[in-house]
Amino acid sequence: MKLSDDFDARRLRPRQPRSWRLRIGAALGALLAAFGILLAMAGVASLVGRAPALGGLNDSIGEAIALLLLGLFLLWAGIAFWRRCRRRLRRPSDLSLSPSLLKRRD
C-alpha cells in the first residue's frame, strides 16, 4: 500500500506538552540517589577508619553502619523515584503505530 504524500501520522493525535512536575521529580530522584551514594561512601569510609572529615562518626561502628544503611536506602529510593518519573514521562500518549508504518515508501 502506497502512502499519499499529504499523510502525516503525527497529526493523528498531537502530543501534549510534557509535564514539568515529572521532569523536576526525575531530577530530584537523581539528586536523592547521588546523596545516597555519598552517604554510603561516607559510611564505608568511617567503617574502614579513614573518615577525618566526618567528625564523631568514626567513633563508633554502630553510627557508621547506620550511615551506610541510610545511604543505601536513599540510593534505592532515589533510583526507584527517578525510574517511576522517567517511565511516566515516556508513556506513549500517541497512537500505537508500528515504526515501519511511519516510513515513507515511494
**pLDDT tens for each residue of 8-34:** 666 666 666 667 888 999 999 999 999
In a domain, residue 103? The reply is no
Q: Residue 99 domain-assigned?
A: no
DSSP single-letter state for residue 56: G
Q: Which long-range contacts (CB under 8 A, 24 or more apart) does 90-95 make?
A: 93/13, 93/15, 93/16, 94/10, 94/12, 94/13, 94/15, 95/9, 95/12, 95/13
Residue 34 lies in a domain: yes
What is the model's pLDDT at position 38? 93
Name which residue leads in pLDDT, 105 or 42: 42
pLDDT of res. 28: 96
Q: Does residue 35 lie within any of the structural domains?
A: yes
- Domain of residue 28 covers 20-91
Q: How many domains would you assign to the chain?
A: 1
Query: Against a cut of 0.85, is the pTM above it?
Result: no
Q: Does 38 reside within a domain?
A: yes
Question: What does the pLDDT look like over 61-106, one tens digit per residue?
Answer: 888 898 899 999 999 999 999 999 988 888 765 555 666 666 665 5
